[in-house]
Copies of this chain bind each other. A is one copy, B any other.
Amino acid sequence: MTQATSSLTDTQSAPPDSSVAEPGRARYAVLAQVLRDRVLRGDWPPGGALPAEQVLAADHGVALGTIRQALQLLVAQGLIERIHGRGTFVRAGLSGATMLRFFRFGAAAGTGLGPPASAILARSRVAAPPDVARHFGPGQGGDMLQLLRLRSLAGAPCLVEQIWLPLPAFAALADGPTAAWGDLLYPAYASRCGVSVHRAVDEIGFAALGTEHAALLGLAAGHPAAVVSRRAFDIAGRCVEFRITRGDAQAFAYTVTLI
């Protein structure tokens, strides 16, 4: 891996970036890790631009192709995105990540039914139960904001969600009218709390509806439900949201492709 370290035109006193020499690992992989760390450290904010590849190459004393390989790695990891003619940017985060992709309500999802609506039915500060707190960091998980949210299509309720958000990071959502948040939560997290969701892990399961949730969805108690437990993470890998979504199992439909 340690390439020629070539010799010629070495008139300068010191190499531009000596940290880029490691045995057993490709130069571009080391560079990628260096850049990754800088992104996670916040050297460039989400949505912000990285230096041009020419600049990065010069700074680290490598050829253009090498820095391009490093950046390509970060693109594959979903950390940055590159736009032809504009530059290289830190990924802003998920805006949609809609639960509706798991369900087929009405004829086809979002066809003729109008946009999905969201209503916050309850909001409270709670001490997180252990089952919830364990998803957050060890220091985290004490004081939390708990939401009960109902999603509707064409006026008909279809999904009920329990959401836990760590405090004080989400203190800005603890007061004030919830109607102003809009129908999508993640943009509200970003604009009101400065928290951008970068990755989400959904676990799908199955259970019977309790009386409370069933009533909200207009179904009978004990009706079969699909249960999606989501952990959402910021760019640094910290869990910033835990959510349990329930919907009619009859409406559940999800497609997986194996290659």
Contact with B along A204-232 (1 / 0, CB 8 A): 11110000000000000000101000000
Binds B, one of A56-64, A128-136, A248-256: A248-256
Asked whether A255 and B201 contact (CB < 8 A) given A206-B250, A249-B206, A249-B249, the answer is yes
Interface residues of A in 180-204 (CB under 8 A from B): 198-204
Interface residues of A in 138-172 (CB under 8 A from B): none
CB of A97 closer than 8 Å to a CB of B: yes
Q: A253 contacts which of B78, B199, B204, B259 (Cβ < 8 Å)?
A: B204
Cβ–Cβ < 8 Å partners of A255 in chain B: 201-204
Cβ–Cβ < 8 Å partners of A207 in chain B: 250
Q: How many interface residues does A have (CB within 8 Å)?
A: 25
Contact B204 A224 (CB under 8 A): no
CB of A49 closer than 8 Å to a CB of B: no
Asked whether A78 and B199 contact (CB < 8 A) given A205-B252, A249-B224, the answer is no
Closest B residue by C-beta to A98: B258
Contact B249 A199 (CB under 8 A): no
For this chain, the copies found in one complex come to 2
Q: How far is the CA of A228 from the CA of B253 in the complex (A)?
A: 10
Instruction: Determine how close the nearest CB of chain B comes to the CB of A101; give it in whole angstroms.
Output: 9
Contact A256 B204 (CB under 8 A): yes
CB of A257 closer than 8 Å to a CB of B: yes
Cβ–Cβ < 8 Å partners of A259 in chain B: 78, 198-199
Q: How far is the CA of A224 from the CA of B224 in the complex (A)?
A: 7
CB of A94 closer than 8 Å to a CB of B: yes
Q: A256 contacts which of B198, B201, B258 (Cβ < 8 Å)?
A: B201
Closest B residue by C-beta to A77: B259
Closest B residue by C-beta to A72: B72
Q: Which 5 A-B pairs have the closest CB atoms?
A: A206-B249, A78-B259, A200-B258, A202-B256, A204-B254
23 A-B contacts (beta carbon < 8 Å):
A97-B258, A198-B259, A199-B259, A200-B257, A200-B258, A202-B256, A202-B257, A202-B258, A203-B253, A203-B254, A203-B256, A204-B253, A204-B254, A204-B256, A206-B206, A206-B224, A206-B249, A206-B250, A207-B250, A224-B224, A224-B249, A249-B249, A254-B256
